Structure 1
């Protein structure tokens, strides 16, 4: 073989080798971790987030909406943001207007201690008449009155559940005639209540309370968790209905259906509006073995 032919053959082999080595090695594509389930996210939030002024709920699209109020700032907000980011893109952060608070206060309505609340629903069970109100109201005092001067006794606390839940059962005096079962609408009229159920997302609802009267809105979430600052309250109904201090315990309803008891929220019934959370009434009825009437 001629030397020129040999040189060409070697050159061809070298070129081929260089062509092979010039091909970049295949790079591994980054793999996005699967989204955590809403149940897993909620479980993590329950154990990791106890900051007052926070709340969360599962949305219809499967994401978890984590809300925080105007008091969650600085290092508190940094910590909350870091914890939610670690839970992935299944979490959505939302800032609420105003401060998240229970809606009990001093003034008119049903009175216990130095506070006022609102009567929720009249109920009957085990041979006696009672009424439901918020658990954080029931914790305040054992005796309740219908006047600010504590002259007219309306009932005595049988049981109260707060935090965790937010409902209480107040017994009317023994021998009292059957109290009216209607919800006062603060317009001279009343609405009879004959059943209790849980509203669906988007249901148009009404809320009545001694401070702000009658207001309406829609259900914006179910099974919400709220941190007012004295322990988590779970399983709440979130709505766009406004409420104010003193409205705690008041009824959430539509037509003849009882839905919930006012727990707390943000804003007021003037310019800001707000977000209000309610204790489902069905849970309270089951706990005490009573029915609405």
Structure 2
């Protein structure tokens, strides 16, 4: 969420509430982070991606790459995708028929029979994309529950809610409609997760340090598109020491949610890492990839710090006030205004950029980082 300080003052009482929330959540969050936090100052990824690096400590059976391969071999009519089962610590390949189940089992994998295929679930999302354009709504694929999870926040009228229910009715249990309290919202050295502000007072979090593939001497910060697009015409950005470090070099929002800031101050350090609030340690980011369903990932932002959580939905459509954003993923991170643009990562892998949230709780939506890197022709370093 981009935090626009110039548009609304933040009273001391609100700041006190934020501190209280941080103090309340700190012990539990420390336990969650302990399993994944870096033991040393820098963590370097292995030469090749491993199951553990993806946050999936499978004790037996096939790994995530092989599971994805099996699902691809089955095709969109015979599987609904793969997910990590945290209870058994194994990858699961969903299947829609007995022959597919036997094929997965014979390959050493764990199969789960489901009713709806990728093709079925995509039909639900297509119907929603074509027929519903209501602000405050989201939908995405919950692979483990074999359902398109549809949400409507408190701003959605009863009439619109009923219309959504009618659109979903023909799909039966392939779709699940839920009313959420709160509102869908994006308002909100240069390390990933650190504070940054523009000249008009809008604050966001640094995403990932990147460089041009064609010219590695050109350094940038990749962050949320709404941070740069909604910057009130002010292109300059400053770090936490109030030092100018660069200017807007691009932004796409809505539709997608990623933006680019060009480094333009040689005296400001540009490390390719992510900052862990609380410990002061950093994790070196060496490569990027898409997140996996059920994966345990972490987020860093200057307001609420570093939180870790689980990927609960993929291919999410979010109807923000300013317009629709597609292809997001949802986690259970706690975030606040100003955390927008912060990095979502696991180990040395860059996964996403924080986009928005539902204000009623720890429900967060993130832009996948790979489409952003491809669009701007840049890479993490």
Alpha-carbon separation, structure 1, partners of 2:285 and 2:358: 27
CA positional deviation for 1:282: 0.9
**Equivalent residue, structure 2, for 1:145:** 238
CA positional deviation for 1:258: 0.9
How many residues were matched structurally? 251
Q: Does 1:50 align with 2:142?
A: no
Alpha-carbon separation, structure 1, partners of 2:311 and 2:165: 26
Q: Does 1:204 align with 2:314?
A: no
**Equivalent residue, structure 1, for 2:14:** none
Q: Which one of the candidate residues 246, 257, 262 is aligned to 1:171? A: 262
CA positional deviation for 1:147: 5.0
- Specify the structure having the higher radius of gyration (Cα): 1
CA positional deviation for 1:90: 1.7
Q: Contact conserved, 2:186 with 2:340, CA < 8 A, in 1?
A: yes
Alpha-carbon separation, structure 1, partners of 2:252 and 2:163: 30
Q: Does 1:135 align with 2:229?
A: no
TM superposition score normalised by structure 2: 0.62
TM superposition score normalised by structure 1: 0.80
Q: Does 1:240 align with 2:240?
A: no
Alpha-carbon separation, structure 2, partners of 1:143 and 1:56: 35
Q: Contact conserved, 1:41 with 1:64, CA < 8 A, in 2?
A: yes
Q: Contact conserved, 2:252 with 2:258, CA < 8 A, in 1?
A: yes
Alpha-carbon separation, structure 1, partners of 2:330 and 2:240: 30
| Other structure's SS at 2:309 match | strand
1:155-200 CA-to-partner distances (Å, cap 9, x unmatched) read 1111101111100010000645661111111122111111111121
User: Residues 178, 290 of structure 1: CA spacing in aligned structure 2 closer, same or farther, 3 A cutoff?
Assistant: farther
Alpha-carbon separation, structure 1, partners of 2:181 and 2:305: 21
CA positional deviation for 1:45: 0.6
Q: Contact conserved, 1:103 with 1:263, CA < 8 A, in 2?
A: no
Q: Which one of the candidate residues 368, 372, 376 is aligned to 1:280? A: 368
| Other structure's SS at 2:335 match | coil
Q: Which one of the candidate residues 102, 117, 120 is aligned to 2:186? A: 102
1:10-68 CA-to-partner distances (Å, cap 9, x unmatched) read xxxxxxxxxxxxxxxxxxxxxxxx99822221111112111111000122154211111
CA positional deviation for 1:98: 1.8
CA positional deviation for 1:261: 0.3
Alpha-carbon separation, structure 2, partners of 1:64 and 1:290: 33
Higher helix share: 2
Q: Contact conserved, 1:206 with 1:217, CA < 8 A, in 2?
A: yes
| Other structure's SS at 2:248 match | strand
Q: Contact conserved, 2:246 with 2:265, CA < 8 A, in 1?
A: no
1:57-88 CA-to-partner distances (Å, cap 9, x unmatched) read 12215421111112223222222222222444
**Equivalent residue, structure 2, for 1:261:** 353
- Aligned ranges 1:1-293 → 2 under 5 Å: 37-60=120-143, 61-104=145-188, 109-112=195-198, 113-125=200-212, 126=215, 127-141=217-231, 142-146=235-239, 152-173=243-264, 175=266, 179-187=270-278, 188-267=280-359, 273-293=361-381
| Other structure's SS at 1:186 match | coil
CA positional deviation for 1:120: 0.4
Q: Contact conserved, 2:339 with 2:354, CA < 8 A, in 1?
A: yes
Root-mean-square deviation (Å): 2.2
Uncovered stretches (5+) of structure 2, i.e. residues with no partner: 1-115, 189-193
Q: Contact conserved, 1:249 with 1:262, CA < 8 A, in 2?
A: yes
Uncovered stretches (5+) of structure 1, i.e. residues with no partner: 1-33
Alpha-carbon separation, structure 1, partners of 2:320 and 2:370: 22
